[in-house]
Structure 1
């Protein structure tokens, strides 16, 4: 089974993905975790790596390709990230989470 959960920052994708993966016994692949791992590989803080990612399209491409690779190579997986649903062509279920801007802003600011 392959499930994707996508949404804008602060919409609750990480929370819901973690709960659903635990409940269903699926392996969770998080775009945020991949981003943090890549920042560590570059020996950069998340803030520094975020600035680099904004300037260098190769970073976004690498993040996207990592999720696509995981989707192609694994079953029993839940992929979480803004574009996860686009990269998982054979997903059994695609979920898009939405939340009002004020709610998302409050979540992100915490």
Structure 2
């Protein structure tokens, strides 16, 4: 056997939709023999639980307490769980920012 080299890498996909399938292709190759490569395709279904957008404290009500909770996450005073992160990321940009607070305020004010 020829030597194999493994490169650990991760891939963060954004804007995936619940219930949809996504196909990813990986290509492996032997280090000492570039002519031999093995493409592998995997089919992934994105699934998950409910994400109550705008309700990171998970009490079923969107109010000022959710703004406070989101602010704690932004200031890194508290570490969100995946569900809390999903709920606090109101603008779906995969980052908790002041923009999420503004949109959350709009939701609370009915705008």
Q: Normalising by structure 1, what TM-score?
A: 0.29
Task: Point out the structure with the larger helix share.
Answer: 1
Structure with bigger RCO (C-alpha 8 Å, 6+ apart): 1
Q: Normalising by structure 2, what TM-score?
A: 0.29
